[in-house]
C-alpha cells in the first residue's frame, strides 16, 4: 500500500497485479506517509480504515489529514493468470522454503484445495475482493483498474491524482510471456474457478480469455 498526503491517494496493492511496478513509481512522489502503513505491503482498505486512527500523529490531526477522504485505487487480474504468475514467482524467487515440497503447479493447486496452511496463508492466494471489501460486505474503491488494461487505467488514475505515473516493470518472471492456459488441465481450471468464483463472476473473467467481459475501470461501490 502507498498513502500520499500531497496528492491525497491510497494505492491498495493486490499481489501479482503489477503492484510492485506501480509502487516504485508512486514512491518517487513527494508526500508519501510511511508511518501510516502496516507492516505488510498488502494491507486491505478495511484494515487501514480500522487502524488508521492509531497511526495519526498530533500534527496529522492538527493539519486535518484524513486518509478516509483520499482517492483509493487498485488493480485486479484474471485469477487463472494471477495464480499461474504466483506459482512462477514462488518457484523462481523461492521466498518460501516450503515450495520445495511442491512437485508441480498442479500439486500446488491441489494442496491449496486441500487447505495446506502455508499456501492458504499466502497473500497471493487471498481473494482480490478482500482487499477492498468493507466489514459490512460492501466493496468500496474509488478507481478500480484491470491488469489487462494496465497502461490505460494507470493513465486514468494519473489524471485523477493530477500526477504522472511512469511504470517500470518489477518482479517479471522469466516465462511471464507464456500463455497461462498452457499450464492448466481441466481439474486445475476447476480448482481456481471454485476458489475465486465470486471475483470471476463479478468481473466477468473466464479461463478461455484473460480479458474481462465486464470492465470495471472506475468506481466500484456495491454489495
pLDDT tier, 129 (very low <50, low <70, confident <90, very high otherwise): very high
Residue 223: per-residue pLDDT: 43
58 φ, ψ (degrees, to nearest 5): -60, -35
Task: Give me the count of residues in the chain.
Answer: 223
Residue 140 CA to residue 133 CA, distance in Å, equals: 6
Task: Kindly report the average pLDDT of the chain as a whole number.
Answer: 88
First-to-last CA distance in the chain? 23
Whether residue 176 has pLDDT greater than 70: no
Tell me the per-residue pLDDT of 143-171, one tens digit each, with 9 for 90 and over: 999 999 999 999 989 999 888 888 776 55
Class of the CATH-defined domain 2-208: alpha beta
Taking a C-beta distance cutoff of 8 angstroms, is the pair 45, 67 a contact? no
- pLDDT > 90 in the chain, percent: 52
Alpha-carbon torsion, ordered 192, 195, 198, 199, to 10 deg: -50
Ordered by start, the domain boundaries in the chain are 2-208
* Arithmetic mean of pLDDT, 74-93: 94
Quote the pTM value. Answer: 0.87
* Arithmetic mean of pLDDT, 45-61: 87
Residue 79: per-residue pLDDT: 97
Whether residue 188 has pLDDT greater than 90: yes
Amino acid at each position: 500500500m502507498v498513502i500520499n498526503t500531497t496528492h491525497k491517494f491510497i494505492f491498495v496493492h493486490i499481489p501479482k497485479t503489477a503492484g510492485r511496478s506501480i509502487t516504485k513509481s508512486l514512491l518517487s512522489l513527494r508526500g508519501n506517509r510511511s508511518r501510516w502503513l502496516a507492516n505488510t505491503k498488502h494491507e486491505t482498505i478495511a484494515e487501514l480504515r480500522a487502524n488508521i486512527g492509531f497511526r495519526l500523529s498530533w500534527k496529522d490531526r492538527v493539519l486535518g489529514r484524513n486518509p478516509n477522504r483520499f482517492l483509493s485505487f487498485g488493480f485486479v487480474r484474471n485469477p487463472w493468470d494471477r495464480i499461474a504468475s504466483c506459482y512462477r514467482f514462488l518457484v523462481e524467487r523461492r521466498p518460501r522454503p516450503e515450495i520445495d515440497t511442491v512437485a508441480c503447479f498442479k500439486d500446488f493447486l491441489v494442496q491449496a484445495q486441500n487447505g495446506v496452511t502455508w499456501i492458504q496463508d499466502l497473500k497471493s492466494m487471498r481473494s482480490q475482493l478482500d482487499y477492498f471489501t468493507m466489514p459490512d460486505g460492501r466493496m468500496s474503491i474509488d478507481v478500480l483498474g484491470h491488469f489487462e488494461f494496465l497502461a490505460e487505467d494507470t493513465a486514468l488514475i494519473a489524471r485523477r491524482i493530477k500526477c504522472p505515473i511512469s511504470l517500470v516493470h518489477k518482479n517479471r518472471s522469466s516465462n511471464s510471456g507464456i500463455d497461462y492456459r498452457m499450464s492448466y488441465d481441466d481439474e486445475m481450471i476447476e480448482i481456481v474457478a471454485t476458489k475465486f468464483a465470486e471475483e470471476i463472476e463479478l468481473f466477468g473473467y473466464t479461463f478461455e480469455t484473460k480479458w474481462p467481459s465486464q470492465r470495471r475501470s472506475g468506481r466500484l461501490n456495491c454489495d
